[in-house]
Chains A and B, each alone.
Chain A
Amino acid sequence: MELRQVGTIAGKEFWDRLRNRWVLAVALVFTVFALVIAYFGGAQQGAVGFRSIGVTIASLVSLVIYLIPLIALVLGFDAIVGERERGSLDLLLSMPITRFELLLGKYLGLAAALAFSTIAGFGLVAVVLSAQLDLPALFHYFGFMASSVLLGMAFLSIAVMLSVFAADRTHASGLAIAAWFFFVLVFDLLLLGALVVTGGSYGGEIFPYLLLLNPADVFRILNIFTLDDVRTLYGLATVFPRTLAEPWLLGLVMLAWIVTPLAVATWRFRK
């Protein structure tokens, strides 16, 4: 593998997103949402203004869990199929570059754009709030940002995989929307439904592991489990055993969610 080739492709993807203001737009969306949630998140309780980092992160998690998978899927769904459909893929592949280098370059460039937006968008909020945050709170917020980046990477990896499998862009966008519905909306409902149907008789042992099959749930556990004051607010997270909730372990699971779809995509793209 020649890293230089990967870098050239990644660089082009990243600069494309920077230049067409995609990075700026997404960062702004994150900043605005985070600020609104931090200041008005407690409005239901009849008060506005920043309250606690725990509540703020919990609210942000509920938002990000919908938003980031959607943004990542939209960003990556046409990475390969778009080039193929426009007719520029042949020319790229006629260069001294392997298919893996092309795929990895595309992924890393898009991942850099998404990570940059996430860190810039939420980071700005951290700067604004920094006066009101102590060190442990900042640490939690940093953890939230890092896990948001990982969540984006995982869904971007799924998106790039779909872009390799799809026959055309329309097909790819359909698959991306289906993936979003499945992981963000349907998966937890299915698990809850199964838990209720079985009367919870086998629940305890398997369900925590089943949660690992969804990067969105991994993200939720990563953020919620460490915050004692909000843990009880979340149904599924409470069935999660403490031994599995190690951040490094969950981080590894996220990493697997990044690597596996990319590996499948590479296998398919080489065929």
Chain B
Amino acid sequence: MTSTTPPRAERSAGPAAIVAVRGATRHYGAVHAVDGVDLDVARGELFGLIGHNGAGKSTLFRMMLGLVPLTSGDIRIDGAPVSGGGFRAVRRKIGYLPENVVLYDNLTGFETLQFFARLKRVPANECAPVLERVGLTHAARRRVREYSKGMRQRLGFAQALLGRPQILFLDEPTNGLDPEAIREFYLILRGLKADGVTMILTSHILAEIQERVDRLAIMAAGKVQAIGTVQALREKMDLPLWFHVRLPRADFERVRTVLGHLPVTAVEARDDHVAVQCRREAKMLVLQALASLGDKVLDLHVHEPSLEDVFFGFSD
């Protein structure tokens, strides 16, 4: 599979970029964990970062937060470098939910938020509303030790929301949440997006992310392999689509006949249908040809490539 590097214009989120990553590289000895990543995230955008374990997305995340120094390249948050003299001002604009967040077992939920609020210089009276927002008010006085995995994740998220950050970095944020909680979580994200908050999140649950992000980047082997909207990625990959044509067995050969001159890539006879594979640009031609079979066709399904196909196409 070819790795397509889109031109800069498509990668760029324009002048409003709040996160600008230029040639970011991190080497651990011979291992190139992150290798020349260019990335722009626009203000107010909900941006997804996907990739297999070890693809480099967590390292890139930690580089964007200033936790891992760059071997080379440059990362700017709202125009300022993430480390150096102005780092405090940058950090105060950021909320971060680490992957598998670990909090302090001996503190209560409320005390945990108070601790982080003090570090972020956020007034203590912001803690209760944030707990309310993530649905933990009932457990505010209980020790984190007694929290379930999902509750810890919510508390970690609450901590990230302290101080009304302009940018949220959420690493696998729905880990450990049940489907209902995941729905609630994205509801909160939608509210934040309406407030103009920029969010960057990683996930390996592609089906979950594809309906919800504005754009996404696919990482593999330390590089961004593709970046764009889900639709743009699908088109760019030009993965073939499949027609499943159900018709009587006796008429299977007719399908081959009507498609004879068309650029189809495969025609397979299956139990009760014929599967036809073609490239996206031939889609309408194939459909017309199949329509010429008239009432021989009992049923027709079109299978578009899923984001999984796109993802595996890029990351294999």
Chain A positions within 8 Å of B, measured between CB atoms, are 2, 4-5, 8-9, 12, 16, 19-20, 86-88, 90-97
Cβ-defined partner of B91 (8 Å) among A4, A9, A94: A94
Tell me, rounded to whole Å, the shortest Cβ–Cβ distance linking B61 to chain A: 10
Task: List, in ascending order, chain B residues with CB within 8 A of A91's CB.
Answer: 96, 98, 101-102, 156, 159
Tell me, rounded to whole Å, the shortest Cβ–Cβ distance linking B92 to chain A: 5
Asked if B120 and A96 make an inter-chain contact with CB atoms under 8 angstroms apart, the answer reads: yes
User: Known contacts being A93-B67, A95-B91, is A12 close to B102, with CB within 8 Å?
Assistant: no
> In the bound complex, how far is the Cα of B87 from the Cα of A2, in angstroms?
13
Asked if A86 and B102 make an inter-chain contact with CB atoms under 8 angstroms apart, the answer reads: yes
Asked if A96 and B91 make an inter-chain contact with CB atoms under 8 angstroms apart, the answer reads: yes
> In the bound complex, how far is the Cα of B97 from the Cα of A87, in angstroms?
12
> In the bound complex, how far is the Cα of B152 from the Cα of A75, in angstroms?
27
Tell me, rounded to whole Å, the shortest Cβ–Cβ distance linking B202 to chain A: 14
> In the bound complex, how far is the Cα of B98 from the Cα of A92, in angstroms?
10
List the one stretch of B111-119, B134-142, B246-254 in contact with chain A: B111-119
User: Known contacts being A16-B106, A94-B67, A95-B91, is A8 close to B98, with CB within 8 Å?
Assistant: no
Cβ-defined partner of B119 (8 Å) among A19, A86, A95: A95
Cβ-defined partner of A88 (8 Å) among B96, B102, B119: B102
Task: List, in ascending order, chain A residues with CB within 8 A of B229's CB.
Answer: none
> In the bound complex, how far is the Cα of B101 from the Cα of A198, in angstroms?
58
11 extra interface residue pairs, beta carbon distance < 8 Å, beyond A9-B119, A94-B65, A96-B120: A16-B104, A87-B101, A87-B102, A88-B102, A90-B62, A90-B98, A91-B156, A92-B119, A95-B116, A95-B120, A96-B121
The interface centre, meaning the residue of A4, A8, A19, A95 with most chain B CB atoms within 10 A of its CB, is: A95
In order of increasing CB-CB distance, the 4 nearest A-B pairs are A96-B91, A87-B102, A96-B88, A95-B119
Task: List, in ascending order, chain A residues with CB within 8 A of B118's CB.
Answer: 4, 8
Task: List, in ascending order, chain A residues with CB within 8 A of B102's CB.
Answer: 86-88, 91
A interface, over-half SS: helix
Closest to A87 in B: B102
Is B100 engaged at the interface, CB distance under 8 Å to the other chain?
yes
Is B103 engaged at the interface, CB distance under 8 Å to the other chain?
yes
Is B161 engaged at the interface, CB distance under 8 Å to the other chain?
no
> In the bound complex, how far is the Cα of B275 from the Cα of A170, in angstroms?
59
Is B94 engaged at the interface, CB distance under 8 Å to the other chain?
yes
> In the bound complex, how far is the Cα of B117 from the Cα of A5, in angstroms?
11
Asked if B115 and A88 make an inter-chain contact with CB atoms under 8 angstroms apart, the answer reads: no
Task: List, in ascending order, chain B residues with CB within 8 A of A87's CB.
Answer: 98, 100-102
Tell me, rounded to whole Å, the shortest Cβ–Cβ distance linking A163 to chain B: 17
Tell me, rounded to whole Å, the shortest Cβ–Cβ distance linking B89 to chain A: 8
Could you write out 22 A-B pairs with CB less than 8 Å apart?
A4-B118, A8-B115, A8-B118, A8-B119, A12-B115, A20-B106, A87-B98, A87-B100, A87-B102, A88-B103, A90-B98, A91-B98, A92-B119, A93-B67, A94-B65, A94-B67, A94-B91, A94-B98, A95-B120, A96-B88, A96-B92, A96-B119
Tell me, rounded to whole Å, the shortest Cβ–Cβ distance linking B85 to chain A: 11
Tell me, rounded to whole Å, the shortest Cβ–Cβ distance linking A3 to chain B: 13
Task: List, in ascending order, chain A residues with CB within 8 A of B87's CB.
Answer: 96
Asked if A94 and B106 make an inter-chain contact with CB atoms under 8 angstroms apart, the answer reads: no
Task: List, in ascending order, chain B residues with CB within 8 A of A96's CB.
Answer: 87-88, 91-92, 119-121
Interface residues of B in 51-82 (CB under 8 A from A): 62, 65-67
Tell me, rounded to whole Å, the shortest Cβ–Cβ distance linking B48 to chain A: 20
Task: List, in ascending order, chain B residues with CB within 8 A of A12's CB.
Answer: 115
> In the bound complex, how far is the Cα of B94 from the Cα of A261, in angstroms?
33
Asked if A88 and B88 make an inter-chain contact with CB atoms under 8 angstroms apart, the answer reads: no
> In the bound complex, how far is the Cα of B93 from the Cα of A96, in angstroms?
10
> In the bound complex, how far is the Cα of B103 from the Cα of A88, in angstroms?
6
Task: List, in ascending order, chain B residues with CB within 8 A of A9's CB.
Answer: 119
> In the bound complex, how far is the Cα of B282 from the Cα of A213, in angstroms?
83
> In the bound complex, how far is the Cα of B176 from the Cα of A250, in angstroms?
56
Closest to A94 in B: B96
Asked if B100 and A94 make an inter-chain contact with CB atoms under 8 angstroms apart, the answer reads: no
The interface centre, meaning the residue of B66, B96, B102 with most chain A CB atoms within 10 A of its CB, is: B102
> In the bound complex, how far is the Cα of B87 from the Cα of A95, in angstroms?
10
Closest to A85 in B: B102
Asked if B119 and A5 make an inter-chain contact with CB atoms under 8 angstroms apart, the answer reads: yes
Asked if B96 and A19 make an inter-chain contact with CB atoms under 8 angstroms apart, the answer reads: no
> In the bound complex, how far is the Cα of B98 from the Cα of A128, in angstroms?
52
> In the bound complex, how far is the Cα of B102 from the Cα of A20, in angstroms?
19
Task: List, in ascending order, chain A residues with CB within 8 A of B121's CB.
Answer: 4, 96
The interface centre, meaning the residue of A86, A93, A94 with most chain B CB atoms within 10 A of its CB, is: A94
Task: List, in ascending order, chain B residues with CB within 8 A of A16's CB.
Answer: 104, 106
Closest to A12 in B: B115
